[in-house]
Structure 1
Amino acid sequence: MKSLSLIPWMLLEKLINELLARDPGSLQRRQKLVGKSLRFDIKELPFELTVSIDEYGLRLTTVSEGETDCWLQTELGVLPELSDSSNLTRLIKAGKLDIEGDPMLAQQLVALIKELDIDWEAELEAKIGAVPAHWLSQIWRKSRQQVADSLQQSQRWATGVLIDEKKILPARIEFEQHKQQLQQLRAKIERLERQLREDS
């Protein structure tokens, strides 16, 4: 049985439930999960994490005893992808996900957290006042956009280097040409094999 000190999980549980309380829409999403429990065996963690949902919020524990409605073995980076049901088959085939029980519960739980919609400006305004809150929100939006723009530029640069300059990755047209050449070669081989069988 994998287990760990309760203190960090109590703090994380408190944080998650406070965030859920700040999103009015989360109550409806949480209602679908009330009374359910899910166990996560995450590759990067040395323990299993059990999440139970009741009318008051989420409960976290590292004690892995007892039955659960859904058990998942996966990686941290895969968790956000679980909210889209179209990803499940691909992840299972790729060996990145093993699941027992109702997979819909995992999707609903991930969506509950992933779709949090909190008015941070209003939260800040209640703490520090309207003007500073608006100023901080503007800075956050600009910095987030700058990070997104930088990531896009880096991706375009890397693609250009790999395809155009270093020729590490084939361009799409080169790939299609190579595929066509292979098909033609296969057809020639099949014709030669038929001729050899006929001659013999």
Structure 2
Amino acid sequence: MTLLPLLPTVLFEKLANTLLKKDAQSPERLRRLAGKRIRLKLKELPFTTTVSVDDAGIYISTADSDDVDCCISTELGVLPELQDTANLTRLIKADQLDIDGDPMLAQQLVGLFKSLDVDWEGELANTLGDAPAHWLMTLWRKSRSHVEKRLEESKRWFKGVVTDEKQLLPTREEFNEFKDNMQQLRAKVERLQRQFGERKS
């Protein structure tokens, strides 16, 4: 099922800009992104979204195929994590994120909305209606829960690998004991070589 009949691009764009106008810090954040174009490829959506930004707000298109400054391929629930630079490498290694272009643009775009203190479902309901708003927020929560579960599994896997590697590596005491044994073995070999040489002569 396509999302376009439920979430017409023009309505979502209007909602986004209405919310941005409610935050006194939005003009500064918009100014930093003015003139930039960012493409979003979200796994949950059957279409690609292009976001263009200027000083007045954002403009959303699902039919734009022109060049962009940054292309983000990810899941809906990952988007809030992009604002923290420390998350980018972890998400990329976990195959949760692919960024082609300037990653700072991804962070700034997420920052436009993550910093807003609003009742998202209430605002969506006012603009789109109760049913579409509820459906979208349910999709968001499921996606976020799925992503958090995948990231937690990745953390457990990484921790297990590190633990196993530590168990495979010898302790300092074990290494010193091995080194002493090797020295003793070498001394025995040298002694046997001398004895064999003396008998041969």
Q: Give the structure-1-normalised TM-score.
A: 0.59
Q: Is the 8 A contact 1:9 1:61 kept in 2?
A: yes
Q: What is the CA distance between 1:66 and its match in structure 2?
A: 0.7
Superposition pairs for residues 44-83 of structure 1, below 5 Å?
Answer: 44-83=44-83
Q: Does 1:191 align with 2:191?
A: no
Matched residue, 1:164: none
SS at match of 2:8: helix
Deviations 1:103-148 (A, max 9, x none): 1111111001001146x8xxxxxxxxxxxxxxxxxxxxxxxxxxxx
Q: 1:52 to 1:6 in 2, by over 3 A?
A: farther
Q: What is the CA distance between 1:86 and its match in structure 2?
A: 1.5
Q: What is the CA distance between 1:41 and its match in structure 2?
A: 0.8
SS at match of 2:90: helix
Matched residue, 1:34: 34
Percent of matched pairs sharing the same residue: 50
Distance (Å, rounded) in 2 between the aligned partners of 1:70 and 1:181: 43
Report runs of 4+ in structure 1 exceeding 2 Å deviation. 2-7, 179-184, 190-200
Distance (Å, rounded) in 2 between the aligned partners of 1:197 and 1:77: 60
Q: Is the 8 A contact 1:83 1:111 kept in 2?
A: yes
Q: 1:65 to 1:197 in 2, by over 3 A?
A: farther
Q: What is the CA distance between 1:75 and its match in structure 2?
A: 1.0
- Over the aligned positions, Cα root-mean-square deviation in angstroms equals 3.7
Q: What is the CA distance between 1:197 and its match in structure 2?
A: 7.2
Q: What is the CA distance between 1:55 and its match in structure 2?
A: 2.5
Matched residue, 2:99: 99
Distance (Å, rounded) in 2 between the aligned partners of 1:197 and 1:73: 59
Letter in structure 2 aligned against 1:31: R
Q: What is the CA distance between 1:62 and its match in structure 2?
A: 1.0
Superposition pairs for residues 1-200 of structure 1, below 5 Å?
Answer: 4=4, 8-117=8-117, 183-184=170-171, 187=174, 191=178, 194=182, 198=186
Deviations 1:59-106 (A, max 9, x none): 111124110000011111110011111211111122111111111111
| Structure 2: gaps of 5 or more residues | 120-155, 157-162, 190-201
Distance (Å, rounded) in 1 between the aligned partners of 2:3 and 2:24: 33
Whichever of the two has the greater Rg, that structure is 2
Deviations 1:22-68 (A, max 9, x none): 11111111111111110011111111111111222111111241100
Q: What is the CA distance between 1:17 and its match in structure 2?
A: 0.5
SS at match of 1:32: helix
Q: Give the structure-2-normalised TM-score.
A: 0.59
Deviations 1:151-178 (A, max 9, x none): xxxxxxxxxxxxxxxxxx9xxxxxx9xx
Letter in structure 2 aligned against 1:46: P
